[in-house]
Amino acid sequence: MPRRSRRICPQVSATLRQRIERLWRRPASRWAVLLYCCCAALPAQTPPSADAYVQQFEASYHDVRSLRADFTQTLTSGGRTRIEAGRVAFERGGLMRWDYQRPAPKLFVSDGKLASLYIPDERQLTRTPLKASEDFRVPFELLLSRLNLRRVFARVELADGAFEHHPANHVLRGFPKKEFAEDYTDVLMELDPNFDVRKLVVNYPDHSRMEFQFDHFDRNPALPQSLFHFTPPAGTEVIDQH
């Protein structure tokens, strides 16, 4: 009977091939050899360039007019941590609604002109023109309006090592322009393969940190316009800021 030839993976160098031939003669080593050959045949995973990845991220939102998701918000400051959670909705035109459900109810809503924060326990509503508002929730409108990270940040880079995340996801880091350098140090965004924002972290100069985690993303849901308008209950103190 003619002897069968044992072909070793062509991806393996001649020197390694000799070593593998020697190992192959040992039955206990054959599984290791097969595993090595399979791994050597796999194409290397090349990380995307920052520019290409940012362009894909921005392009993925061109046809998105509304968003809905669950969120968890964590503020870490002065050694203390506060965690809140709820449901958020966005629509083009600067429309937003953050319904906080835990640990206590509150509402942040924008009708495209005014940003309003209602705290039921204090029976108080604070209203601020959206363009003048410095509220940390306002920049989220960029997802649906003029998403252009190069205009928002001085520099954007890939930062997959910034924190632990799902292996299929990537992390972008944005650095502030000079005029905003005192407002924050950097922004980190974890994006899944669909370019949904799974985590957004804002780091501040005083070493405090605001983190948002999102789940159950829904793109282009039908949202009633009434969702973005709020009339406070009778007896609510209304504070108008300018």
- Where residue 127 sits, what CATH number does that domain have? 2.50.20.10
What would the pLDDT profile of 157-178 be if each residue is shown by its tens digit?
Answer: 999 999 999 999 999 999 988 8
Residue 98 placed within a domain? yes
Residue 11 placed within a domain? no
Q: How far is CA 157 from the centre of its chain?
A: 14
Residue 27 placed within a domain? no
CA distance 54 to 69: 22
Residue 13 placed within a domain? no
CA distances from 118 to 69, 128, 184, 213, 233 (A): 20, 12, 26, 22, 10
What would the pLDDT profile of 59-85 be if each residue is shown by its tens digit?
Answer: 998 889 999 999 999 999 999 999 999
CA distance 168 to 16: 32
User: Which are the contacts of 9, defined by CB distance < 8 A and separation ≥ 6?
Assistant: 37, 40, 41
Residue 60 placed within a domain? yes
Residue 23 placed within a domain? no
Q: Which pair of structure tokens corresponds to residue 152?
A: 């928002």
Residue 22 placed within a domain? no
Residue 152 structural domain: 50-240
Identify the pLDDT of residue 85: 97
CA distance 172 to 187: 8
Residue 153 placed within a domain? yes
User: Can you list the pairs that 112-120 forms with residues at least 24 positions away whose Cβ atoms lie under 8 Å?
Assistant: 112/228, 116/230, 118/230, 118/232, 118/236
- What torsion, rounded to 10 degrees, do the Cα atoms 96, 180, 75, 227 define? 0
User: Which are the contacts of 100, defined by CB distance < 8 A and separation ≥ 6?
Assistant: 84, 85, 86, 106, 107, 108
- Give this prediction's pTM: 0.74
CA distance 239 to 116: 10
> What is the number of structural domains in the chain?
1
The overall average pLDDT reported for the chain is 81
